[in-house]
Structure formats: C-alpha cells, structure tokens
Amino acid sequence: MAALSRLTNYERARPDGPRAFDLSRVEALLRRLGSPERRLGARVVQVAGTKGKGSTSRYLDAVFRSAGLRTGRYLSPHLESVRERIAIDGEPIGDAAFAARIDAVLACADDTTTFFEALTAAACLHFAEARTEAVVLEVGLGGRLDATTAVPTTHTVITEISYDHTEILGSTLEAIAGEKAGTIRTGVPVFSGVDPSTGPGRVIRLVAAEREAPFLHVPPPADVRPEGLAIRWGELTLPVLGRHQAHNAALAAAAVADLPWTEVARGLASVRHPGCLEVREGAPVVILDGAHTVSSIRATILGLTDHFPGRRPELVFALAQDKDLDGIVAELAPRVGRVFCVSADHRRGRDARALAGQAAWQGRAEAVADPPAALDRAKAAAGPQGLVLVTGSFYLAGALRPLV
C-alpha cells in the first residue's frame, strides 16, 4: 500500500486539465502485464455518467450473479477500504491477493503510472486470473481518456449528465456528454439514460451513430413510488432510498434484457448502495450520502422528502474545492436544521470555516475540527428521535460509516 499511495492520485490532487490523462500509459502497462483486459469473460460492461454510475454498476453485477455468472466488479471511489473497488462475486479482494496484484502491477509500471491506472490494471489482472464470466467497470472520471476505456467492452451504459469536473471535462453539458460518449466503441450497444432530445443526449446519440453502435434510450420509469425505506418500481421492491434509483435499475435491466426477467428482478432486489442515501438505524437515525453535485443533492433532498416526510435533518457537511458550493448550499439550506461543517480531505477539501460562513445558512452553521466531532454535535442537536444527514463528500461518508 505504501508504494501504491506514492503514485499520483487525481482523486485527491487536482489534475492539470485533460492533458493529465493519457490512455497510452495504461494500454502500455496492460501489455507489459500480458494483456489481462482481453481475458475478462463474455460480457464486459463499462458504465459512465456524472451520477448513478456506481449504483448502476452494482445493479449489473448483482443481476449477473443472480444469473449464475462469475463476476468481477470495479468501482470508484471507495468508502472505507481501497479493496472495495475490486470484487469477485460481490466480495472485495482479500488483503493477500490485493498485495500480490499491486506488486505485479508496480513491477511493470513506470514513474508516470497513476494511482487509478494501477488499480485498473490490478483489477483486470485479478479478474483474468479468477476467470470471470461477466465484468462491470465503473468509469473513474469522464470516459474518453479514463483508464477503464483501455478495456475492450461488449456493452456501454451512460447514466446521466450534469455539471462536475468542468475544469477537465468542459463547461457545458454538451462538452461533458462528449467526454462520456468517448466510452462508446464501434458496433458496441449503448444504453443511455440521457434524453436524446436534449443537447447532451443528442451528442451521445450522434457519437453512437458515427460509430455504428446500436443505441437505446432508457427513460426514467414512471411507475415509481416510495414505500417505507424502499422504493416500488411496478411490482418490484428495491431496498434503497430515492426514486432516482429506479432509473439506475432500469438502465441495468435494459443492458441485460437477454437474461430471464426472474433473474434480473432477483438481482435488482438484492442490492443496497453504501454511501448513497444509506440509512444507519439508531437514535437518531443517520443518513450517509456521498452526493456532491447540485443535481445529486437535489436527488438526495427528494429522497429525504419521500422517505422522511416532514423531517428536517441536522447536517454534517463537507465539500471539495472544485464543487459548486453556492449551488449546493442553496439547495440544502432551506431544508436542514443546524449545520456542522468539516474538511474531510485536507488536500482537496474546502476549509470548514469557509463552508460555515455561507450566508445562506443564516447563522445556523459552525465549523467543527473533524468529522467524528461534527457527527457527535449533529446527533446531540437532533436528539434520539431526530435525523442526521451526512452529505457533500464520499470521503466524509466513508470516514463516518464505521462510527454509525
């Protein structure tokens, strides 16, 4: 782990624009490893999008397992352990196997190899050696130049497009969509959750047409309603919060439409999403959520309104420097009580005092020294019958998850 942590990590350090990413690096690394990315199984699905890609990836993996296939799943970022990113049949890679895969990768790496490239190569090596039959790869950032795009695929899924990482992906939704559409391969089917009548949707459909890739638009399902701490999609109950998860499930179902519906439904109904409107029962109830864009915060708020009507949560809040602070605070401020601000990542996180100083909080916010202390303050403010929301940062959710 020490050697891995010394690699350039663009999840923690801001990249110097698009030029920081170069597919040829990871392609050369994979060749030196014996091209494991070409031995992953009959189904390899790459999932891109601004939000929803992690949840959609989990749905796909669960459906493949429900159908009896040996699966590999590669997600990012992680909540508590980097080993969560690489899983066989839903189980994270063990310590010894992870160390062996990383050692093998680093033996073939050079001083330009990044943290994400090394992990991607390690995942490919692990899946190939495990003889997986179906693999799901979540894009790390963008798509066109993401390390996962060095892997040949059989299906492409693009979830939703909204503003994030604009300094790298572009300042318009169309530009961002163009980067995500870079995952589309010649002749490989594309399943898109983006309305093709919109600007971003037209970009995705155009790229699919240019590459002669069969295209299917999967709209958000209409027959969705909250049901306790779950959502109901038609006759199917999904044990998650947030009606937006039905759209993610529908995208996954569309990409595996050749499998029997009974197996698809069983897989979808088995999935929970750590760190995504995750309910941690207690007194008070704590909701862990990694939302960090305006659109994902809106989905979080709608989920809370659906599943906890009339409740006003106390908030534990952190945010990275490159996120839309004004837009996110404008969404949260009218819907939360006291606000306890922290810096969850000393390299990319905003200063807690700057977060607490936002005028929209109307004097209800304070800076707290660290995430555990902020959680304690929020729980005390909520009382045993109250509600605490932790959001704004996946790293914050991961730091507090072991404590609730």
Rg of the chain's alpha carbons, rounded to an integer? 21
**253 and 234 Cβ atoms separated by less than 8 Å:** no
Residues 220, 327: one domain?
no
- Kind of pairing between the strands at 71-74 and 86-88: antiparallel
Residue 137 within a domain: yes
Residue range 295-309: mean pLDDT, rounded:
95
Count of domains observed in the chain: 2
Range(s) of the domain holding residue 371? 278-403
Q: Is the pLDDT of residue 121 over 80?
A: yes
Dist CA 101 CA 93 (whole Å) = 10
- Kind of pairing between the strands at 155-158 and 387-391: unpaired
Residue range 277-287: mean pLDDT, rounded:
95
Spatial neighbors of 134 by CB under 8 A, at least 6 apart, are 41, 42, 43, 44, 45, 61, 64, 69, 70, 71, 72
Residues 292, 393: one domain?
yes
**C-alpha distance from residue 113 to each of 4, 50, 120, 148 (Å):** 10, 25, 11, 14
Q: Is the pLDDT of residue 10 over 70?
A: no
**349 and 323 Cβ atoms separated by less than 8 Å:** no
Residues 385, 334: one domain?
yes
Residues 248, 379: one domain?
no
Residue 21 within a domain: yes
Residue 323 within a domain: yes
pLDDT band at 83 (very low <50, low <70, confident <90, very high): very high
Residues 92, 41: one domain?
yes
Up-side HSE of residue 274: CA atoms within 13 Å toward CB?
A: 18
Residues 123, 205: one domain?
yes
Four-point Cα dihedral 88, 94, 100, 104, nearest 10: 40
Report the percent of the chain where pLDDT is more than 90. 86
pLDDT at 392: 95
Q: Which of 268, 288, 309 is the last residue of a domain?
A: 268
Dist CA 242 CA 229 (whole Å) = 9
pTM of the model: 0.93
Dist CA 379 CA 124 (whole Å) = 42
Q: Is the pLDDT of residue 17 over 60?
A: no
Residue 184 within a domain: yes
pLDDT band at 164 (very low <50, low <70, confident <90, very high): confident
Residue 189 within a domain: yes
Residues 130, 200: one domain?
yes
Up-side HSE of residue 134: CA atoms within 13 Å toward CB?
A: 22
Q: Which of 237, 268, 299 is the last residue of a domain?
A: 268
Between residues 142 and 248, which one has the greater pLDDT?
A: 248
Four-point Cα dihedral 308, 269, 77, 33, nearest 10: 180
The CATH number that applies at residue 164 is: 3.40.1190.10
Residues 95, 229: one domain?
yes
- 158: tokens are 């693009």
pLDDT at 3: 75
Residue 154 within a domain: yes
pLDDT digits (tens, 9 = 90+) for 337-356: 999 999 987 677 899 999 99
Q: Which of 268, 287, 307 is the last residue of a domain?
A: 268
Q: Is the pLDDT of residue 132 over 80?
A: yes
pLDDT digits (tens, 9 = 90+) for 356-368: 999 999 999 999 9
Residues 318, 215: one domain?
no
Residue 306 within a domain: yes
| Residue 320 DSSP label | B
Residues 263, 283: one domain?
no
Residues 211, 293: one domain?
no
pLDDT at 39: 97
Residue 273 within a domain: no
Q: What angle do CA 58, 14, 369 make, to 5 degrees?
A: 85
Q: Is the pLDDT of residue 179 over 80?
A: yes
Residues 249, 297: one domain?
no
